[in-house]
Amino acid sequence: MSGRLVVCPTPIGNLEDVTLRVLSALRDADLVACEDTRRTRVLLDRYGVKGRLVSYHEHNERARSAELVSRMRSGSVVALVSDAGMPLVSDPGYVLVRACVAAGLPVEVLPGPSAAITALVASGLPASEWHFHGFLPRKKGELRRLFSGFRETVVAFESPRRVPATLQLLAFLDPSREVAVCRELTKAHEEVIRGRAAELAERYAQAPPKGEVVLVLGPAGGGAASAGGDGP
C-alpha cells in the first residue's frame, strides 16, 4: 500500500467515544504520531492496539514533519493523533498536513469527537452560523475586539482560572449576552451552565470552574459598553 497520512480524532474525555475506523487505522499504521506518547498509549492499551509511537508536538513538529514525510514517501502509513479531539484544531498537525499536500501524499481525515462541536450543540445556542476561535487571547484589548467583532455564536477554549475575568469583561460589554460554560465534556463530571453574561460572571466571581472548559457565546446583543470604553 502506498504511503499516506491518516488523521485520527481521539476521545475528548470518554475513551469509549473512539470510532471503529480510528481503531482500525491505528492498528494498520506503521507509525502513530502523537502529542504525548503516554496518553496515546493509554488509549491503545485499552483496545489492545500495538502501535509504534513517535512524539509529534508543537516543539518538534517541523523537524518531525520532514522525517514523517520521508517515511511516507517510502511507503509508510502514518496515523496522526492529538491528546484529545481532532488534530490541527488548536492542536499540532497543520505543518505535517501542509507538508503532505506539498509532497503530493494522500491525506485521509476520519471523523470523530470534537470538543468545540459538542459544546456548541450542548449550549442550546444558535448553531447555523458560528465562529470557532480556539484559545481566547489573554490581552483585554484583544478580548474586547473579539467579543464585539462577531455577531454570530462564538465557541472558544479558555483556561479555567481565567474564566471569571473573561466573563466579567463580557458582562461589562454585553451583560445580557447568552453564554454557556461547558466543563469536562463527556467525562464523569460533565457540566453545562447556561445563562446571561452578567449572571455567570457573578456565579464564577469567587470560584473558577474546575477541569477543561469550552465557552460558547450566543449572538451579540448590542451591549451597553463599546469595545473601547472603560471597564474591568
Among 53, 74, 109, the domain boundary falls at: 109
Q: Which cell is 11 given?
A: 476521545
Beta strand 153-158 with 213-217: parallel, antiparallel or unpaired? antiparallel
Judged against a pLDDT cut of 80, whether residue 231 lies above it is answered with no
- Which residue's entry shows cell 462577531? 150
How many angstroms separate the CA atoms of 138 and 175, rounded? Answer: 20
Of 74, 109, 144, which one is at a domain's C-terminal end?
109
**Domain count along the chain:** 2
Share of the chain above pLDDT 70, in %: 94
b/e code 28-37 from CB counts within 10 Å (16+ = b): ebbbbbbbee
pLDDT band at 2 (very low <50, low <70, confident <90, very high): confident
> CA 211 to CA 165: how far, in whole Å?
17
Mean pLDDT, range 56-66, rounded to an integer: 94
Is residue 86 in some structural domain? yes
Average pLDDT, the chain: 93
Mean pLDDT of the 159-178 span: 96
Cell readout for 173 is 460589554
Residue 230 within a domain: no
> Cell 459598553 maps to which residue?
225
Report long-range pairs for 24-31 (Cβ below 8 Å, ≥24 apart).
25/79, 25/110, 26/51, 26/79, 26/81, 27/51, 28/77, 29/77, 29/78, 29/79, 30/71, 30/76, 30/77, 30/78, 31/68, 31/71, 31/76, 31/77, 31/78, 31/79
Residue 148 has phi, psi (to 5 degrees) of -90, -15
27-51: per-residue pLDDT in tens? 999 999 999 999 999 999 999 999 8
Chain segment 101-154, per-residue pLDDT in tens: 999 999 999 999 999 999 999 999 999 999 999 999 989 999 999 988 888 999
182 membership: H or E segment, kind and range: strand 178-183
CB atoms < 10 A from the CB of 3, how many? 20
Residues 104 and 184 in one domain: no
Q: Residue 222: its pLDDT value, please?
A: 46
Q: Which domain holds residue 20?
A: 4-109
Regarding whether 84 and 180 lie in a shared domain, the answer is no
Q: Is residue 224 part of a domain?
A: no
- State how far the Cα of 152 lies from the Cα of 174, in Å rounded to an integer: 14
The mean pLDDT value for 53-63 works out to: 95
**Residue 221 pLDDT > 50:** yes
Residue 151: per-residue pLDDT:
87
The stretches of the chain forming alpha helices (DSSP H) are: 20-28, 37-46, 61-73, 94-103, 115-123, 140-149, 163-173, 197-203
Report the Cα–Cα distance between both ends of the chain, in Å, rounded. 58
Last residue of a domain, one of 78, 109, 140: 109
What pLDDT was estimated at residue 149?
A: 83
**Residue 148: its pLDDT value, please?**
86
Q: Look up the CATH number of the domain holding residue 21.
A: 3.40.1010.10
* Contact assessment for residue 201 and residue 168, using Cβ atoms and an 8 Å cutoff: yes
Among 227, 14, 215, 5, residue whose Cα is nearest residue 122:
215
Instruction: Supply the pLDDT for residue 226.
Output: 42
